[in-house]
Homo-oligomer: A and B are copies of this chain.
Amino acid sequence: MNDAAKREDFPVEAERWLRASGLADELGFIVSRVRSEIMIPIEETMEGHGLKRHAYAVLALACTELGPTQRELASIVRLDPSRLVSVLDDLESEGLVARRQDPLDRRSRRIQATDEGRVVRAQAAEAVGATIDELLHVFTSGERRSLVDLLQRLAFCGDKG
């Protein structure tokens, strides 16, 4: 689950090495570190609601009006279509999601959240939001906004056209 090496072992020395090596200023390293720092507590929260990382995202997308196709889901979540199968199997067996054959193209199935799925989604989202608020307590609300804004531009700049 977590990345083995304890985070508290060499806190001060770690910072020294990171500065001396130059890694502390490299965006790739920084972003990777940020991701693991925030995803560890976030995934813990998700699992408190019975959801793993991928299931959380899939359930969220299944709560939209039409519900995406499995193919679309896989593309959006950056998950191999074959791996999505087991994620959906789990969600379906827990009654949070249903596969509906698309009448317009009977090959594809649209994934829609059940009523219970929507409840779980709402509860999990609220808990995750609280966890994020904790993580961001060092920032002013202005800083939070610009952080999210900058990251969104970086995250979705390939999705415009």
Interface flag for A4 (CB, 8 Å): yes
Complex alpha-carbon distance, A15 and B9, angstroms: 41
How many chain A residues touch B (Cβ–Cβ < 8 Å)?
A: 78
Closest to A152 in B: B30
| A152, chain B: closest CB distance, angstroms | 6
Q: How far is the CA of A10 from the CA of B65 in the complex (A)?
A: 18
How many copies of this chain does the complex contain?
2
Does B24 lie within 8 Å of A152, measured CB to CB?
yes
Given known pairs A79-B4, A125-B22, the reply for A13 and B72 (CB within 8 Å) is yes
Question: What is the bound-complex CA distance between A7 and B77, given in angstroms?
Answer: 10
Which residues of A89-130 are within 8 A (CB) of B? 125, 128-129
- Are the CB atoms of B31 and A35 closer together than 8 Å? yes
